[in-house]
């Protein structure tokens, strides 16, 4: 007996040693063996029929617990899990369990998969966003685990654009897998395993029939007749006999069913196996495929959309889609300006704030959030995430513009306005600005840098504020200084614009509007051509899909004529009639919804677009609303922009009747003589019912069919007020000759204006940050590299033609450069002769370069700062191990608080986070001595118990500040309130939107609750940055007598760049929002 126990002990010890060793990825001779790559996986919808707190409190935790148990029981079991954001939730909420995940990754049993931040959708997200999914996803994996994946894994996603292979190829990925094409793919299943190429001819290996991620494993999978037949069929068709499959569970994560794991493990290494089963990582097959095998694989090029399931999800939850588009654009501008500000030495590149903002945007692109298919509660969290991201991007942009404008000569006679063009091509467009005056002037005139008077138009006088517009020419991705002078001349400037009750005209177009608000005529004066064959209308289409309401649209509905039009109770009036812009205000109703449209024409180059600005009060049911354009152009095919690449699609048919686009669609006649582009700023769905008709989908609220009553909340989705724009652009030749892509960029990225002080500057009155020598070249991103001192510029070819001898110019010459991929890994050398970046671009391809610029002569005095000692009297920080260590019911998570918080280069020293230490000052009139020195600003890091206000005093001079709440949402859109708080009950009211605008210096996604002790999952906490201008020689700061205000840090700053004031909103702020009343017919 003792001998047997000894043998058993030795066996257990040997087994333990064996299990502790890392599992090695095996390779096989897949040219000669039948191999089935079997991918164990648990699918997680981070939000869907549940919200983030539920995911964190239950599903994330369960995923770890279940897999830990199964790893110990089945040493050969391999588990795949995606999404750096989900791993970060593990780390933040379950740090001890997360350490075990790290160990299992080292052993090789737990595989980090999919290369992404989350399993994001890919029809709406920009091409740059998809690259960032890979960049930041694998960056996290490498930092945390020393691992990375080389595949993109999207088992559950509602269709796939044709450009994805090009994007993933640029990122250095090898493969892609999905099972979603079995959900009625318009293209069928091109193959099981093959090559999917993008519009530039580059691609990835794709496993397009990976079977159900909820799929089970049969006993002796290695002898299963169905899989043996499938591998034999591969051999017969293509000359290889390997394949790829998922098994596991979804959509609440966890681990595969134990029986499935048992059968999978027992299908390994059997003498009588008919196929070799490999329990593998999601990317192992792609690594194993050799160049020789790759040549045998079948090839597919084009979209992989789902007939019904892609359709509705391109429009559902339309405000979510607007937030995403606006943040993607804001991110680009922020990084572009932050790179130059960093190079100038005036503002350090703010990686933390930018990357934290990106993480929120990418997380919100998860494949049930951005498509609009989650429960209403999920969007409260997602909206808030987008608003936090916008806050971060906006503050970076403002600080960067401040730094750059400090180098400009802003001396003017009147008020100094600086305009910024975020688009990488010179343009003439309209600047909108609003200035405050002690006394409103009789008139205002804007002058350019040479003192030439520009066309200027006052559009609103309100209290002490004057809103005006002017025509400006700006350099590529550049800034220019303008002089806004008060004048007494009331006489109108000469203008080529005109407006009457039902018509508008500029040098390019004559537009007529019917009494019901429809546009009846658009006449191109330059080409003597009528654009419309019949009125452009707002059409209601019946929408009641048989299943999956917010996802699907059905051909049975789409093939029919509109059921009604938005043309009831119409009124038309002239809104603007000046030298810069003329516009008509059109109000009308239909099917319980109401719309206000501003149809406008402008002077100058921007007048090439007929702009339509919309404010839609939406309370319709079982319909979509489409803007239809019946054109005097006929072509069975239209061109659809996909961001990277343009694809042609034919008229509607039963396989394709609602398709995605990004920023523009174009219909050009068959001869290529003339075309019309429809430009949009946040609407992704569209269709083409005939040779001469394009329709842009503006709103979608589906009916609920029998059997789907558990999704009754979707029959009121999007109720509320929505603002959006679209435009019509006529052009000679096709979209390439007409440069439609640039008109769409102008429409989506308006000029940004701000006021600044007068000062000298070495850069003169204008500066271009980045400039190309060809309109074929688009700049997708200009940012600092994640590592090192180089900057990254990402370019894409826009016209579908190979481009030679392209160049890129920066404000200073390039002194070193090399080529990188989307993950910023070096892949080649670069030509930077004569200080320019010189390159070729093949059609629709992406190229990225790391560039080092000639250092600037930073003779300017650097900003100086010093922390101010605070009389701490309150403990507001607690560790997760002792959440009761605080002086109130709630506290900030000390484990996430750095010793120093930096916001726009201002450093705040944090208090002691140790247990039983005070680390904040609860305001009660404390008097704080300020260090002596030449300081011009005092910055405060603070938050409040509920929104409040208080008087901070500098040497007894009171400075009132509003201080925002330390927790809760900072912003929400129109939000439905349901009876009994059950989203399947009727809507009883709609809450008005709001946005809190204070600068978020730091945030975390949870807070601590003292008793009963818990992490408040996804209940954000914030610290805000406030500023006070200091008089010279200031000596004392007195805190308010308001104990709701908590101060965490105070810093004095001197030699800071001159302030700027943005004179038009950078993001939706709901300053003009209206309260909504449910109309009687639907109460």
Tell me the pLDDT tens digit for each residue of 653-683.
999 999 999 999 999 999 999 999 999 999 9
Interval 819-842 mean pLDDT: 98
6-23 burial: b if 16+ Cβ within 10 Å, else e: eeeeeeeeeeeeeeeeeb
In the three-class reduction of DSSP (H, G, I as helix; E, B as strand; rest coil), residue 342 is classed as helix
For position 495, what pLDDT does the model report?
A: 87
Cα(423)–Cα(630) distance, rounded to whole angstroms?
31
Task: Report yes or no: 1020 and 967 within 8 Å, Cβ to Cβ.
Answer: yes
Give one DSSP letter per residue of 452-517, joined into a string.
PBPPEEEEEEETTEEEEEEEEEE-TTEEEEEEEEEE---SPPP-S-EEETTEEE-SSEEEEE-TTS
906 φ/ψ angles, rounded to the nearest 5 degrees: -90, 125
- Give me the CATH topology for the region 30-306: 7-stranded beta/alpha barrel (3.20.110)
Tell me the pLDDT tens digit for each residue of 75-116.
999 999 999 999 999 999 999 999 999 999 999 999 999 999
Give one DSSP letter per residue of 567-605, joined into a string.
-EEEEEEEEEESSSEEEEEEEEEETTEEEEEEEEEESSG
Both tokens of 627, joined, read 């803007």
Interval 39-56 mean pLDDT: 98
Bond from prior residue into 145 cis (ω within 30 degrees of 0): no
Task: Identify any residues that bridge with 304 across adjacent strands, giving them in sequence order.
Answer: 160
pLDDT above 80: residue 26: no
879-885 — which CB contacts under 8 Å span 24+ positions? 879/913, 879/915, 880/95, 880/1008, 880/1015, 882/915, 883/1008, 883/1009, 883/1010, 883/1013, 883/1014, 883/1015, 884/1010, 884/1011, 884/1013, 885/915, 885/916
**DSSP element (H, E) containing 624:** strand 623-630
Task: Identify any residues that bridge with 445 across adjacent strands, giving them in sequence order.
Answer: 485
Four-residue CA torsion sign, 736, 741, 742, 747: positive
Task: Identify any residues that bridge with 726 across adjacent strands, giving them in sequence order.
Answer: 612, 680
Tell me the pLDDT tens digit for each residue of 404-430.
999 999 999 999 999 999 999 999 999
In the three-class reduction of DSSP (H, G, I as helix; E, B as strand; rest coil), residue 556 is classed as helix
Cα(240)–Cα(1009) distance, rounded to whole angstroms?
58
Interval 117-129 mean pLDDT: 98
Interval 169-192 mean pLDDT: 97
Cα(913)–Cα(877) distance, rounded to whole angstroms?
6
Tell how far CA 995 is from the center of its chain.
18
pLDDT above 60: residue 11: no
Residue 556's contacts (CB-CB under 8 Å, 6 or more residues apart) are none
Both tokens of 270, joined, read 């059997």
For position 24, what pLDDT does the model report?
A: 54
Cα(680)–Cα(661) distance, rounded to whole angstroms?
9
pLDDT above 70: residue 1081: no
In the three-class reduction of DSSP (H, G, I as helix; E, B as strand; rest coil), residue 682 is classed as coil
**DSSP element (H, E) containing 445:** strand 443-447
Tell me the pLDDT tens digit for each residue of 802-817.
999 999 999 999 999 9
pLDDT above 60: residue 392: yes
Query: 861: exposed, middle or buried (C-beta count within 10 Å: 0-12, 13-18, 19+)?
Result: exposed
Classify residue 366 by its DSSP letter.
B
pLDDT above 70: residue 15: no
For position 10, what pLDDT does the model report?
A: 38
Based on its alpha-carbon atoms, the radius of gyration of the chain, rounded to whole angstroms, reads 30
CATH classification number, 774-857, choose in 2.60.40.2220, 3.90.550.10, 3.40.718.10, 2.60.40.1510 = 2.60.40.2220
Query: Quick one: which of 225, 246, 240 has its CA closest to 40?
Result: 246
Bond from prior residue into 251 cis (ω within 30 degrees of 0): yes
The mean pLDDT value of the chain amounts to 95
In the three-class reduction of DSSP (H, G, I as helix; E, B as strand; rest coil), residue 99 is classed as helix
Tell me the pLDDT tens digit for each residue of 321-372.
999 999 999 999 999 999 999 999 999 999 999 999 999 999 999 999 999 9
Give one DSSP letter per residue of 172-191, joined into a string.
T--EEE-SGGGTTBTT----
Confidence category of residue 17, pLDDT binned at 50, 70, 90: very low
Four-residue CA torsion sign, 469, 470, 473, 478: negative
Cα(632)–Cα(623) distance, rounded to whole angstroms?
27
Tell how far CA 254 is from the center of its chain.
28
Pairing of β 151-153 and β 175-177: parallel
pLDDT above 60: residue 896: yes
Beta-carbon count within 10 A of 1071 CB? 8
The CA distances from residue 140 to 87, 93, 154, 850, in Å, are 9, 17, 19, 21
For position 166, what pLDDT does the model report?
A: 98
Pairing of β 242-251 and β 35-44: parallel
Task: Identify any residues that bridge with 794 across adjacent strands, giving them in sequence order.
Answer: 781, 848
Strand order in the sheet with 826-829: 777-784, 791-797, 846-853, 814-820, 826-829
Tell me the pLDDT tens digit for each residue of 686-731.
999 999 999 999 999 999 999 999 999 999 999 999 999 999 999 9
pLDDT above 90: residue 231: yes
Task: Report yes or no: 516 and 476 within 8 Å, Cβ to Cβ.
Answer: no
Confidence category of residue 491, pLDDT binned at 50, 70, 90: confident
For position 953, what pLDDT does the model report?
A: 98
For position 375, what pLDDT does the model report?
A: 98
Tokens 């830990």 sit on residue:
68
For position 8, what pLDDT does the model report?
A: 36
Query: Quick one: which of 127, 171, 116, 84 has its CA closest to 781?
Result: 127
For position 7, what pLDDT does the model report?
A: 38
For position 1058, what pLDDT does the model report?
A: 87
Cα(564)–Cα(699) distance, rounded to whole angstroms?
14
The structural domains of the chain, with segments of one domain joined by +, span 30-306, 415-492+752-756, 498-748, 774-857, 864-1056
Tell me the pLDDT tens digit for each residue of 922-953.
999 999 999 999 999 999 999 999 999 999 99
Task: Report yes or no: 105 and 145 within 8 Å, Cβ to Cβ.
Answer: yes
The CA distances from residue 197 to 152, 167, 326, 839, in Å, are 15, 10, 29, 23
| % pLDDT > 90, the chain | 94
Interval 1-29 mean pLDDT: 45
CATH classification number, 415-492+752-756, choose in 3.30.300.30, 2.40.340.10, 2.60.40.1180, 3.40.50.10780 = 2.60.40.1180
Query: Quick one: which of 550, 508, 899, 541 has its CA closest to 729?
Result: 508
Cα(910)–Cα(752) distance, rounded to whole angstroms?
35
Cα(817)–Cα(828) distance, rounded to whole angstroms?
10
Strand order in the sheet with 957-963: 927-929, 1036-1038, 948-954, 957-963
Give one DSSP letter per residue of 251-293, joined into a string.
EB-----HHHHHHHHTTSS-TT-SSEEEE--TTHHHHH--HHH
Pairing of β 826-829 and β 864-867: unpaired
Tokens 């006679």 sit on residue:
413
112 φ/ψ angles, rounded to the nearest 5 degrees: -80, 125
Beta-carbon count within 10 A of 772 CB? 19
CATH classification number, 498-748, choose in 3.40.190.10, 2.70.98.30, 3.10.20.30, 1.10.630.10 = 2.70.98.30
30-61 burial: b if 16+ Cβ within 10 Å, else e: beeebbbbbbbbbbbbbbbbbbbbbbbbebbb
For position 27, what pLDDT does the model report?
A: 60
Both tokens of 891, joined, read 């506290």
Taking each helix axis as running N to C, give the angle between helix 351-364 and helix 318-344, from 0 to 180 degrees, rounded to the nearest 10.
160
Task: Identify any residues that bridge with 866 across adjacent strands, giving them in sequence order.
Answer: 1052
pLDDT above 90: residue 1066: yes
Q: Do domains 415-492+752-756 and 774-857 have the same CATH topology?
A: yes
């Amino acid at each position: 007996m003792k001998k047997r126990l000894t043998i058993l002990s030795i066996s257990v010890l040997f087994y333990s040693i064996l299990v502790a060793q890392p599992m090695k990825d095996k390779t096989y001779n897949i040219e000669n063996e039948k191999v089935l790559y079997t991918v164990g996986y648990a699918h997680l919808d981070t939000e869907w029929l549940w919200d983030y707190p539920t995911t964190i409190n239950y599903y994330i935790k369960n995923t770890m617990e279940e897999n830990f148990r199964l790893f110990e029981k089945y040493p050969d079991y391999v588990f795949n899990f995606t999404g750096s954001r989900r791993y970060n939730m593990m780390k933040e909420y379950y740090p001890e369990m997360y350490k075990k995940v790290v160990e299992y990754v080292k052993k090789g049993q737990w595989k980090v998969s999919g290369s992404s931040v989350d399993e994001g959708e890919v029809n709406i997200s920009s091409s740059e966003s998809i690259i960032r999914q890979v960049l930041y996803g694998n960056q996290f994996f490498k930092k945390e685990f020393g691992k990375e994946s080389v595949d993109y894994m999207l088992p559950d996603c509602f269709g796939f654009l044709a450009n994805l292979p090009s994007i993933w190829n640029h990122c250095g990925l090898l493969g892609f897998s999905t099972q979603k094409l079995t959900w009625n793919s318009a293209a069928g299943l091109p193959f099981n395993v093959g090559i999917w190429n993008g519009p530039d001819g580059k691609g990835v290996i794709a496993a397009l029939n990976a079977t159900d991620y909820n799929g089970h494993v049969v006993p002796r999978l290695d002898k299963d007749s169905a899989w043996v037949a499938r591998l034999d069929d591969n051999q017969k068709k293509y000359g290889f006999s390997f394949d790829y499959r998922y098994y596991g569970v979804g959509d609440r994560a966890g681990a595969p069913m134990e029986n499935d794991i048992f059968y999978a493990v027992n299908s390994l290494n059997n003498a009588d196996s008919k196929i070799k089963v490999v329990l593998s990582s999601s990317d192992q097959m792609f690594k194993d495929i050799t160049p020789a095998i790759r040549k045998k694989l079948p090839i597919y090029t084009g979209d992989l959309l789902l007939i019904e399931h892609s359709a509705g999800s391109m429009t559902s939850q339309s405000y979510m889609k607007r937030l995403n588009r606006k943040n993607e654009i804001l991110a680009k501008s922020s990084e572009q300006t932050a790179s130059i500000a960093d190079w100038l030495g005036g503002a350090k590149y703010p990686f933390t704030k930018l990357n934290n903002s990106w993480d929120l945007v990418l997380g919100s692109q998860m494949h049930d959030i951005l498509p609009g298919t989650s429960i209403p509660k999920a969007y409260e969290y997602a909206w808030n995430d987008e608003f936090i991201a916008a806050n971060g991007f906006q503050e970076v942009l403002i600080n960067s513009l401040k730094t750059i404008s400090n180098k400009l000569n802003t001396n003017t006679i009147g008020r100094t306005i600086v305009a910024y063009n975020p688009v990488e091509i010179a343009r003439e467009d309209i600047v909108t600005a609003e200035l405050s005056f002690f006394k409103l002037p009789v008139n205002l005139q804007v002058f350019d840098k040479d003192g030439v008077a520009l066309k200027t138009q006052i559009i609103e006088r309100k209290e002490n504020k004057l809103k005006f517009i002017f025509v400006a020419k700006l350099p590529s991705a550049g800034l220019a200084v303008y002089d806004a002078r008060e004048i007494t001349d009331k006489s109108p400037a000469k203008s080529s614009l005109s407006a009457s009750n039902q018509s508008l005209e500029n040098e390019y177009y004559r537009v007529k509007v019917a009494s019901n608000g429809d546009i009846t005529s658009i006449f191109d004066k330059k080409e003597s051509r009528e654009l419309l064959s019949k009125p452009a209308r707002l059409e209601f289409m019946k929408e009641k899909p048989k299943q999956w309401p917010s996802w699907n649209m059905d051909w049975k509905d789409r093939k029919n004529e509109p059921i009604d039009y938005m043309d009831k109770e119409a009124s038309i009036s002239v809104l603007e009639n000046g030298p810069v812009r003329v516009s008509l205000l059109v109000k009308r109703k239909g099917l319980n919804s109401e719309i206000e449209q501003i149809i406008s024409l402008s002077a100058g180059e921007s007048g090439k677009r007929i702009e339509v600005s919309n404010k839609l009060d939406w309370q319709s049911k079982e319909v979509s609303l489409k803007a239809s354009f019946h054109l005097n152009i006929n072509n069975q095919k239209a061109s659809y922009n996909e961001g990277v690449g343009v694809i042609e699609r034919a008229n509607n048919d039963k396989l394709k009747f609602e398709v995605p686009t990004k920023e523009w669609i174009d219909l050009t006649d068959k001869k290529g003589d003339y075309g019309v582009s429809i430009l949009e700023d946040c609407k992704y769905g569209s269709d083409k019912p005939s040779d001469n008709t394009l329709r842009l989908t503006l709103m979608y609220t589906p009916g609920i069919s029998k059997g789907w009553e558990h999704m009754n909340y979707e029959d009121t989705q999007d109720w509320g007020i929505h603002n959006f724009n679209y435009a019509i652009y006529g052009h000679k030749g096709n979209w390439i000759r007409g440069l439609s892509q640039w008109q769409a960029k102008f429409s989506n990225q308006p000029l940004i204006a701000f006021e600044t002080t007068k000062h000298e500057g070495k850069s003169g009155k204008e500066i271009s940050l980045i400039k190309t020598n060809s309109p074929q070249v688009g700049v997708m991103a200009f940012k600092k590299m994640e590592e090192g001192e180089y900057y990254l510029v990402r370019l894409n070819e826009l016209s579908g033609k190979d481009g030679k001898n392209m160049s890129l110019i920066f404000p200073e010459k390039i002194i070193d450069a090399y080529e990188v991929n989307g993950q910023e890994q070096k892949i080649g050398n670069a030509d930077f002769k004569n200080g320019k970046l010189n390159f070729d671009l093949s059609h629709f391809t992406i190229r990225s370069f790391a560039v080092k610029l000639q250092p600037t002569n930073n003779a300017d005095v650097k900003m100086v700062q010093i922390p101010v000692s605070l009389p701490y009297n309150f403990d507001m920080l607690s560790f997760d191990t002792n959440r009761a260590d605080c002086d109130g019911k709630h506290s900030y998570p000390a484990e996430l608080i750095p010793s120093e918080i930096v916001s726009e280069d201002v450093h705040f020293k944090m208090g002691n986070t140790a247990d039983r230490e005070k680390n904040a000052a609860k305001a009660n009139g404390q008097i704080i001595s300020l260090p002596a020195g030449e300081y011009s600003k005092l910055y405060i890091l603070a938050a409040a118990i509920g929104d409040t206000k208080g008087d901070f005093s500098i040497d007894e001079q009171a400075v009132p500040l509003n201080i925002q709440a330390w927790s809760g949402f900072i912003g929400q859109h129109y939000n439905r309130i349901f009876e009994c708080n059950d989203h399947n009950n009727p809507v009883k009211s709609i809450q008005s939107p709001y946005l809190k605008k204070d600068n978020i210096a730091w945030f975390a996604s949870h807070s601590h609750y003292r008793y009963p002790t818990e992490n408040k999952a996804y209940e954000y906490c914030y610290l805000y940055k406030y500023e006070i201008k200091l008089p010279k020689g200031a000596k004392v700061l007195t805190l308010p007598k308001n104990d709701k205000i908590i101060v965490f840090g105070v810093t004095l700053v001197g030699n800071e760049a001159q302030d700027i004031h943005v004179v038009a909103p950078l993001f939706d702020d709901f300053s003009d929002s209206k309260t909504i009343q449910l109309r009687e017919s639907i109460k």
